[in-house]
Copies of this chain bind each other. A is one copy, B any other.
Amino acid sequence: MVTSSAHERRAGARSTYLISMAACPTHRGLDRLGDSWVSLILKELADGPRRHGELARAVAGATQKMLTQTLQALQRDGLVARSVIDSIPPRVEYRLTPLGETLLPVMAMVTEWAERHIGDIDTARATYDSVTSN
């Protein structure tokens, strides 16, 4: 099993605070979106279906392992659909499900925010570092 987040897992181990956060949808949602390669994959699939190999190239930097793993997680959550056209060689296509498409506007907003403010963050970071560590 590849799916449940670190928190879910740990929450299962000890008994406490299941209540306080496990049920928070926002937290859970961000947990998915934050999952390292999700944003890149989603961005790629936003333009239409992609084959496995195409994704591998587009999302360069992701290990093949991570790519498959992430795609499976997205599939499990019903955000991405996988279809096999078995021929030789095999073709596998991934596409957004309708549910997955509802994510695009959200992603767009995050992107807009990030592009607008990433500079401020870098500045703040540089300032903080120079003040702190010298």
Q: Identify the interface centre among A7, A110, A116: most chain B CB within 10 Å of its CB.
A: A110
0/1 string, A12-44, CB within 8 A of B gives 1 = 000011001100111111111111101110010
How many chain A residues sit at the interface, stated as a range, is 35 or more
Residue of B nearest to A133 (CB): B1
A125 located at the interface, meaning its Cβ lies under 8 Å from any Cβ of chain B in the complex: yes
A69 located at the interface, meaning its Cβ lies under 8 Å from any Cβ of chain B in the complex: no
Whether A24 touches B7, Cβ cut-off 8 Å, given contacts A124-B76, A125-B78, is: no
- Measured CB to CB, the residues of A under 8 A from B are 3, 6-7, 11, 16-17, 20-21, 24-36, 38-40, 43, 59-61, 75-79, 99, 102-103, 105-107, 109-111, 113-118, 120-121, 123-125, 127-129
